[in-house]
A = this chain, B = another copy of it.
Amino acid sequence: MNGAQALIRTLVDAGVDVCFANPGTSEMHFVAALDDVPEMRGVLTLFEGVATGAADGFARMAGRPAATLLHLGPGMGNGLANLHNARRGRTPVVNVVGDHGRSHKRLDAPLESDIDALAGTVSGWVRRSLAPEDLAADAADAVAAAARGQIATLVLPADVSWSEGAAVAEPRPVRPRPQVPPAVVDDTAAVVRAGEATVLLLGDDVVASEAGLVAAARVAAGTGVRLMAETFPARMVRGAGLPAVGKLPYPPEVAIKALAGTRHLVLAGATSPVHFFAYPGTPGTPVPEDCTVHVLSAPGEDGVAALEELAAKVAAGAEPELREASRPELPTGRLTPRGISAVVGALLPERAIVVDEAITSGIGVVEQTAGAPQHDWLALTGGAIGDGLPMAVGAAVACPDRPVVVLQADGSAMYTLQALWTMAREQLDVTVVLYDNASYAILQGELARVGAAGGGERAGQLLDLGGPALDFVALATGMGVPATRAETAEELAEQLRTALHEPGPHLVQAVLRPGE
């Protein structure tokens, strides 16, 4: 058995049975070994950022890591932005990065670069496999490391992959989630009982499950604390029948207002909030100066159990407030961002997975979908745009029986548009709502927000995507995804219904031209 065969078999045995791949020469034995281990599903992508974003989306929905297969340093570089998002969302990913054969390293061949340094910028675990006999154990360790909510990168020299003498390794034992000590729950109980203005801020570990939301809502019902979710949770369950929890807003001035007057901020799986960027004359965080921050559970700890214990202590018998089913009315006339949101809210199918990279165009979409049937919401965790379409690929591979709806801004779409091709190739049930405002609209707002003087014609040109206009119908069909263009709410509703009804991927270009 060669290294590649043992590696893939070990990955499969440890539960990693999907590999989003963009291989090169040094990965050819890995590719060949896919025919020896048919349990591993190889999914080809045309760009590494699609592979890593798909692995992110897959793990968020499957709850276990996928592998990526990347080609040396430049391949990892291309995948880095979406690995950054995965790191920020604490999503497990196992990267297999092919490298030169061991004897070739010292020759400084053209593709030589410092993969280990590169991997270290996003990975919680990095190892270079040095011998075929060690490779399977390295792979088992990588999966175990990833399972702790981080990125594990295994650098695989080509000759370690192709050499004989490898053997399969056992999966490592799974470490349970660390429990929150009872004393911490007691301390938190005292805080929430005190009756001062308190916000309970919920992180990924809590909002990803109905149990977490219900426990938090019981605490709120029993004590009067306000609930809030992190601004960009990796995965949040929401919709009719679930507790209604709003998210801490993104714009700093709005976030500051949302937390104004708060005396105690209790973190349940969340980190203490900070603004995305620094702004002149604005503090770096929306937390008021006289607010005390308490940690009920740190990210990675069992925050759901802690909240359940807390609810038992402070809210025995309290009933959580649940969102009633409701849908917005279908709007009419020229499209606006709020109109698109209403159409999405009106038509969102049962058990949908919503991937949200709508950026500024997504105005109102959170509210308009709040009473829709229960669904999962995947946000851009790390701010590295270009995660939407790739995450949809991964989510659809993880949950083939669920519809995936992507709310996708135009500027961000262009970073990793190649994801559409993989959607077509794998016939994934993904519907892309493409918000076409022909600009980097968020940057137009940010230009004003940072107080940048000027903002004249030449600055404006760097934020404008209108010359030439992007024809997303042509771009999607060029990669095999059926696409249509909607200029009115009626057209959008009709096209969205069709797209959601038919299997396989679709794209609807929703045209926003506020100036017209």
Stretch of A97-105, A288-296, A304-312, A325-333 contacting B (4+ beta carbons < 8 Å) = A97-105
Complex contacts, A221 vs chain B, CB 8 Å: none
Stretch of A113-121, A132-140, A367-375 contacting B (4+ beta carbons < 8 Å) = A113-121
How close is A155's CB to chain B, nearest CB, in angstroms? 14
How close is A100's CB to chain B, nearest CB, in angstroms? 6
A116 and chain B: residue at smallest CB distance: B121
- Selected from B35, B73, B276, B454, the residue in CB contact (under 8 A) with A35 is B454
A275 and chain B: residue at smallest CB distance: B109
Q: B474 touching A478 by the CB < 8 A rule? A: yes
A463, CB-defined interface residue at 8 Å: yes
Q: B470 touching A478 by the CB < 8 A rule? A: yes
- Selected from B104, B463, B472, the residue in CB contact (under 8 A) with A284 is B104
Q: How far is it, in angstroms, between the C-alpha of A268 and the C-alpha of B382 when the chains are bound?
A: 47
Q: A81 touching B77 by the CB < 8 A rule? A: yes
Query: How big is the A interface, by class?
Result: 35 or more
A78, CB-defined interface residue at 8 Å: yes
With A31-B459, A277-B158 known to touch, is A84 a contact of B113 (CB < 8 Å)?
yes
Q: How far is it, in angstroms, between the C-alpha of A451 and the C-alpha of B32 when the chains are bound?
A: 10
Q: How far is it, in angstroms, between the C-alpha of A274 and the C-alpha of B384 when the chains are bound?
A: 37
| Residues 448-472 of chain A, each 1 if its beta carbon lies under 8 Å from chain B, else 0 | 0111111111110111110111111
The residues of A with any CB-CB pair to B shorter than 8 Å are: 21, 23-26, 28-29, 31-36, 38, 42, 44, 46-47, 49, 73-75, 77-78, 80-81, 84, 88, 100-101, 103-104, 107-111, 113-114, 117-118, 120-122, 158-159, 162, 232, 271, 274-278, 280, 284-285, 381-384, 386, 411, 414-415, 417-418, 421, 424-425, 442-443, 446-447, 449-459, 461-465, 467-475, 477-480
